């Protein structure tokens, strides 16, 4: 998709640079930085970094044996299962970590040390204890204390690397580094994948954190992942290897000069075990649920949709400089967008089309393509600044003929029969990045429809050519666009006697407790959130400040 690169972020950086130069000329910046950085730990880039790759010929593993027959019946195709709800997405990850026998490759933008992070780390450590080779690659933007990762990496079967690390360590030092190293530290690895034995993978929009898996008591995300088996799992492994062996991926040992003491790993293992399975009976309950999920899903390849597809990923060198060669995901998305002929369904938490995309949308609609977009309402967004950037395009999208929906904060998810489907009753925020083209092709991944995903972050996505999977995903998008879960956004009716083209302003139609309602004021959690959205919207080129 062609996006105009508005240079507001560059101007912002330039303004900071000019201010910094003025301070430096007065001799104050050098003094301030010396005091600020005195005693700070810095990244030691001389720490050795060993090249490694995904292992081949793993057909003799448990997963290889389970999927051998299905693969023979579907040569060249991969198997897919949509992971719609957080609990199943967690069980899928747990099941493939439990079943891995040779390798685990794990790559995430966020790996939060909450309940889910502790649980997954405990299972990863258990896999390493039974001989599985683990490679863990994390972006540095959301990492806190380096010490737990350094201790984890002291396990002989675990390697941990940090992507595009901040030079000076410590959370309190990250914001100052944006001032003098903006172009580099503003570019992040946004990929989210987990691969077991080069045969099963989970790829999609979820990071590792409580609110991605319906565990948070306060706020949970609506998102989608794919469980994949077959050739595209190996393609995902190739993508992981590109990042793992990139010079931007630095061993976590380089973050701290103090090596892990022999007892630290044992202490970490005991602490994780106590935190995750300390409650009496919790291990037995987890084991039963894990075995049930494995038996009913992982061990039944016939339940997957077998189809052709493609994994697309940006070059890790995109964090050094945006170039056509590095921006593979955006260009692949542009092709899918241009090839759409009848219907385009979009569910995107962060939707900032920009002028060029807006023109393409108008062109598609004139060609007869029906376009439905589900994005975040102000009340449901976790990024008010992003919402303000999207809001600038809202009326124009409606006038162009886009059917527009905004996901509610209290969206009710339908209950399911199986235990791992049960959603939590907590406020909801949209985090999905899924599209359906012509009910024939499905796109799921980490790519947001905003300038940051196009220009600054590295992304990964999978495109599946399957009418069956497309119908499944379309059904989920239509469910999320329902009056119970989303506001239908429309232009206000034209005043009596005036043409329809004169319509200004928008209204929100939906249901609250089963009753149809209409609102003429932006749905928001509080007056303060509404005020912030109004103020952010006044910033010229706000989308480039994200």
Q: How far apart are CA 170 and CA 316, in angstroms?
A: 24
Are residue 274 and residue 336 in the same domain, yes or no? no
User: Would 190 be classed as within a structural domain?
Assistant: yes
Per-residue tokens: 471: 């119908």
Domain boundary among 303, 336, 364: 303
Domain of residue 169, CATH code: 3.30.870.10
Q: How far apart are CA 455 and CA 1, in angstroms?
A: 12
- The string of DSSP codes covering 342-400 is SEEEEEESSB--HHHHHHHHHHHHHTT-EEEEEEE-GGG-S-HHHHHHHHTTHHHHHHH
Q: Which residues pair with 464 in a beta bridge?
A: 309, 442
From residue 183, how far is each of 130, 189, 226, 315, 510 by CA, in Å? 42, 14, 32, 17, 42
C-alpha torsion sign, points 189, 190, 193, 194: positive
3-state helix, strand, coil in the chain (%, to 5): 45, 20, 35
3-state secondary structure of 480: helix
User: Would 185 be classed as within a structural domain?
Assistant: yes
Q: Angle at which helices 527-537 and 384-391 pack, to 10 degrees? A: 50
Per-residue tokens: 118: 């502790």
Are residue 268 and residue 348 in the same domain, yes or no? no
| Range of the structural domain that residue 99 is part of | 78-303
Task: Tell me the longest C-alpha to C-alpha distance in the chain.
Answer: 82
Are residue 440 and residue 541 in the same domain, yes or no? yes
- Contact at 8 Å (CB) between 211 and 424? no
Domain boundary among 303, 337, 362: 303
- Contact at 8 Å (CB) between 353 and 386? no
- Contact at 8 Å (CB) between 355 and 543? no
506 phi-psi bin (left φ>0, alpha ψ -120 to 50, beta other): beta
Are residue 264 and residue 319 in the same domain, yes or no? no
Are residue 385 and residue 506 in the same domain, yes or no? yes
pTM (predicted TM-score): 0.89
Residue 362: phi and psi, rounded to 5, are -60, -40
- For residues 135-151, one letter each, b for 16 or more C-beta atoms within 10 angstroms of the residue's C-beta and e for the rest, the string is bbbbbbbbbeebebbbb
Are residue 229 and residue 354 in the same domain, yes or no? no
Closest listed residue to residue 437, CA positions, set 507, 381, 390, 369: 369
Read off the DSSP letter of residue 146.
S
User: Would 230 be classed as within a structural domain?
Assistant: yes
How many C-alpha atoms does 247 have within 13 Å on its Cβ side?
5
Tens-level pLDDT at each residue, the chain (546 residues)? 433 333 233 323 333 333 334 333 434 443 344 434 444 688 988 899 999 999 876 778 999 999 999 999 999 999 999 999 888 999 999 999 999 999 999 999 999 999 999 999 999 999 999 999 999 999 999 888 899 999 999 999 999 999 999 998 877 778 888 888 888 888 999 999 999 999 999 999 999 999 999 888 778 899 999 999 999 999 999 999 999 999 999 999 999 878 899 899 999 999 999 999 988 888 988 898 889 999 999 999 999 999 999 999 999 999 987 777 788 999 999 999 999 999 999 999 999 998 888 888 999 999 999 999 999 999 999 899 999 999 999 999 999 999 999 999 876 665 554 555 555 555 678 999 999 999 999 999 999 999 899 989 999 999 999 999 999 999 999 999 999 999 999 998 877 766 666 567 899 999 988 899 999 999 998 999 999 999 988 887 766 666
Q: Which residues pair with 161 in a beta bridge?
A: 137, 251
E strands in 16-172: 78-83, 103-108, 133-139, 158-163
Are residue 339 and residue 291 in the same domain, yes or no? no
Are residue 212 and residue 338 in the same domain, yes or no? no
Q: How far apart are CA 212 and CA 200, in angstroms?
A: 21
Are residue 263 and residue 364 in the same domain, yes or no? no
User: Would 229 be classed as within a structural domain?
Assistant: yes
User: Would 45 be classed as within a structural domain?
Assistant: no
Q: How far apart are CA 64 and CA 103, in angstroms?
A: 13
Number of domains forming the structure of the chain: 2
Per-residue tokens: 525: 């959690």
């Amino acid at each position: 998709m062609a996006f105009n690169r508005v240079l507001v972020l560059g101007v912002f950086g330039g303004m900071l640079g000019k201010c910094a130069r003025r301070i430096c000329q007065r001799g104050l910046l050098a003094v301030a930085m010396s005091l600020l950085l005195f005693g700070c730990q810095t990244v030691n880039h001389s720490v050795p970094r060993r090249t490694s790759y995904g292992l081949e010929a793993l057909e003799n593993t448990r997963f290889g044996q389970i999927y051998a027959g299905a693969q023979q019946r579907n040569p060249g195709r991969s198997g897919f299962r949509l992971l719609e709800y957080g609990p199943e997405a967690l069980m899928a990850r747990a099941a493939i970590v439990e079943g891995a026998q040779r390798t685990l490759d794990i790559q995430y933008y966020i790996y939060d040390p909450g309940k889910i992070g502790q649980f997954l780390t405990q299972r990863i450590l258990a896999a390493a204890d039974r001989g599985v080779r683990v490679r863990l690659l994390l972006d540095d933007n959301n990492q806190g204390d380096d010490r737990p990762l350094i201790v984890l990496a002291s396990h002989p079967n675990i390697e941990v690397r940090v992507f595009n690390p901040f030079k000076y360590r410590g959370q309190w030092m990250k914001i100052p580094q944006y001032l003098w190293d903006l172009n580099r530290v503003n570019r992040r690895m946004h990929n989210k994948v987990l691969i077991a034995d080069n045969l099963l993978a989970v790829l999609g929009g979820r990071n590792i954190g409580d609110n991605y898996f319906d565990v948070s008591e306060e706020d949970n995300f609506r998102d989608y992942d794919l469980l994949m088996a077959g050739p595209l799992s190996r393609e995902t492994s190739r993508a992981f290897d590109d990042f793992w062996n990139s010079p931007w991926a630095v061993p976590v040992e380089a973050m701290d000069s103090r090596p892990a003491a022999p007892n630290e790993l044992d202490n970490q293992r005991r602490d994780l075990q106590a935190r995750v399975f300390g409650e009496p009976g919790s291990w037995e309950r987890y084991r039963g649920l894990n075995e049930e999920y494995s038996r009913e899903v992982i061990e039944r390849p016939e339940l997957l949709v077998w189809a052709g597809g493609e994994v697309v990923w940006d070059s890790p060198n995109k964090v050094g400089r945006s170039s056509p060669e590095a921006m593979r995901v955006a260009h692949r998305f542009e092709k899918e967008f241009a090839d759409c002929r009848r219907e385009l369904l979009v569910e995107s938490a962060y939707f900032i089309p920009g002028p060029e995309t807006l023109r393409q949308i108008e062109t598609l609609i004139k060609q007869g393509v029906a376009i439905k977009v589900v994005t975040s309402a102000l009340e449901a967004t976790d990024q008010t600044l992003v919402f303000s950037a999207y809001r600038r395009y809202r009326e124009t999208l409606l006038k162009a003929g886009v059917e527009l929906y905004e996901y509610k904060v209290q969206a009710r998810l339908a209950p399911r029969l199986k235990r791992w489907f049960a959603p939590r009753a907590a406020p909801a925020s949209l985090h999905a990045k899924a599209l359906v083209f012509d009910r024939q092709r499905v796109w799921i991944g980490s790519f947001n429809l905003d300038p940051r995903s196009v220009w600054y972050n590295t992304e990964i996505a999978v495109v599946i050519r399957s009418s069956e999977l497309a119908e499944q995903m379309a059904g989920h998008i239509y469910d999320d666009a329902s009056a119970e879960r989303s506001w239908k956004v429309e232009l206000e009716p034209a005043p009596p006697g005036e043409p329809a083209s004169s319509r200004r302003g928008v209204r929100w139609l939906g249901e609250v407790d089963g009753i149809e309602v209409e609102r003429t004021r932006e749905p928001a959690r509080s007056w303060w959130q509404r005020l912030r959205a109004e103020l952010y919207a006044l910033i010229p080129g706000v989308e480039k400040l994200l």
